[in-house]
Amino acid sequence: MPKRILLTGGAGYIGSHTYVALVEAGHEVVILDNFVNAHRSVGGRLERITGKPVTLVEGDIRNAVTLATLFAEHAFDAVVHFAALKAVGESMARPLDYFDVNVGGLTTLLRAMEAAGCRRIVFSSSATVYGVPDEAPTPETAEFRAMNPYGQTKILGEQMLDWLGQSNPDWAIGILRYFNPAGAHGSALIGEDPRDIPNNLMPFVAKVALGELERISVFGDDYDTPDGTGVRDYIHVEDLARGHVLSLDRLFESGDSHCVNLGTGRGYSVLEVIAAYKRACNRDLPHTIAERRAGDVPVYVASAEKAEEILGFRTEKGLDEMCASSWKWVSNTGAHE
């Protein structure tokens, strides 16, 4: 059954891919985004991909009036909530901005939902809530460990949602803990588009492939991992987007809440990522071994069983497809303004 969905942060990286997946699943979607980390041109590109007009409202999740107006106009059945600030280093320098948007913004959104009687939400959480986990693959039962203000805001968001669910059984809440999203849409019209020098590995490697940055620094090769470099569970953004459609389906079918990891259950090292990207772009990718990055986690790999059991979610695309689609997107320079 088609549903009316409010997609906050839907002009961003993961949100834009999820918009496509939701529209392809037949839902009616309204995007709310303040463009603090997205381009206005995303709307036109989403129209090209889906062949349907896009409703994209410019506004802030912290603005209660904007939200009340949107809920009155659209009678949403559910919200998929991406809008947040997400840079770990920036969160250390500007913690209040992170609490304001990620926690305050979520509170304002949930109040608007309560007032409108809309009690279905899918929330973007992160593997970062596990801090340095005791086990890898990491199950959802691992304890919360905040390593920085960003991670703390995701823990607080999850806890707020948990208490809200306990206050009223009408709430159905999907908490999705993403591992490392990578890759881009097959059309090469949307993808990750960092404004500054990227902090994350995959977009950094992409800029070296483009010749915009000179070389990759590999942050440490003396970890207790097969080749000594950090291991992560990279998940194709199109797989991740599909996970949100399944999460929503589950909320509507069961009326129950869930909290699951979204990852592949398989880790790749930094050197394996560089080698895969080299195959995708067919260029040399110079790299040097550098110091470990402060606060880095040696291994992040999802235990992926719960998402399969509860949502029927299994990833379909591997590292080579992530690198190939990333390369197709970053080298499609016309799509980036």
Residues labelled as active-site residues: 150
> Nearest approach, Cβ of 216 to ligand UDP (angstroms)?
6
User: Which 294-313 positions form the footprint of ligand UDP (CB under 6 A)?
Assistant: 296, 300
Q: Which is nearer to ligand NAD, 47 or 228 (CB)?
A: 47
Name the one residue in this structure whose structure tokens are 């959104």. Answer: 109
User: Which residue in the set 200, 213, 318, 332 belongs to the binding site for ligand UDP (CB under 6 A)?
Assistant: 200
**Binding flag, residue 204, ligand UDP (CB under 6 A):** yes
- Rounded CA gap, 25 and 11, in Å? 18
Q: Which stretch binds ligand NAD (CB under 6 A): 22-30, 72-80, 81-89, 267-275?
A: 81-89
| Calculated CA dihedral for residues 112, 116, 120, 122, nearest 10 degrees | -30
Do the strands 216-219 and 287-290 form a parallel or antiparallel pair, or are they unpaired? parallel
> Nearest approach, Cβ of 19 to ligand UDP (angstroms)?
24
- Rounded CA gap, 48 and 214, in Å? 34
User: Which 241-300 positions form the footprint of ligand UDP (CB under 6 A)?
Assistant: 270, 293, 296, 300
Q: Which is nearer to ligand UDP, 209 or 246 (CB)?
A: 209
270 binds, among ligand UDP, ligand NAD, none (CB under 5 to 8 A by kind): ligand UDP
Count of positions (residues) in the chain:
337
What would the two tokens of residue 86 be? Answer: 């997400």
Cβ neighbours, 10 Å, residue 308: 13
Q: Which residue is nearest to ligand NAD (CB)?
A: 12
> Nearest approach, Cβ of 303 to ligand NAD (angstroms)?
16
Helical residues (DSSP H) of the chain, grouped into ranges: 13-24, 42-50, 64-74, 88-93, 95-98, 105-116, 149-167, 201-210, 237-254, 270-281, 305-311, 319-330
62 binds, among ligand UDP, ligand NAD, none (CB under 5 to 8 A by kind): ligand NAD
**Binding flag, residue 13, ligand UDP (CB under 6 A):** no
**Binding flag, residue 36, ligand NAD (CB under 6 A):** yes
How many residues make contact with ligand UDP (CB under 6 A)? Answer: 15
204 binds, among ligand UDP, ligand NAD, none (CB under 5 to 8 A by kind): ligand UDP
- Rounded CA gap, 46 and 283, in Å? 30
30 binds, among ligand UDP, ligand NAD, none (CB under 5 to 8 A by kind): none
User: Quick one: which of 78, 79, 81, 59 has its CA closest to 69?
Assistant: 59
Q: Which stretch binds ligand NAD (CB under 6 A): 6-14, 20-28, 133-141, 219-227?
A: 6-14
3-state secondary structure labels for all residues of 214-241: CCEEEECCCCCCCCCCCEECEEEHHHHH
Structure letter (DSSP) for residue 186:
T
User: Which residue in the set 133, 174, 230, 267 belongs to the binding site for ligand UDP (CB under 6 A)?
Assistant: 230
User: Which residue in the set 24, 28, 35, 114 belongs to the binding site for ligand NAD (CB under 6 A)?
Assistant: 35
Q: DSSP 3-state assignment of 86? A: coil
37 binds, among ligand UDP, ligand NAD, none (CB under 5 to 8 A by kind): ligand NAD
Which residues are within 8 A (CB) of 63 and not within 5 positions of it... i.e. 6 or more apart? 108
Q: Which is nearer to ligand UDP, 270 or 324 (CB)?
A: 270
What would the two tokens of residue 172 be? Answer: 């159905």
Residues making contact with ligand NAD (CB under 6 A): 8-9, 11-15, 32-38, 60-62, 82-86, 101, 105, 124, 126, 178, 181
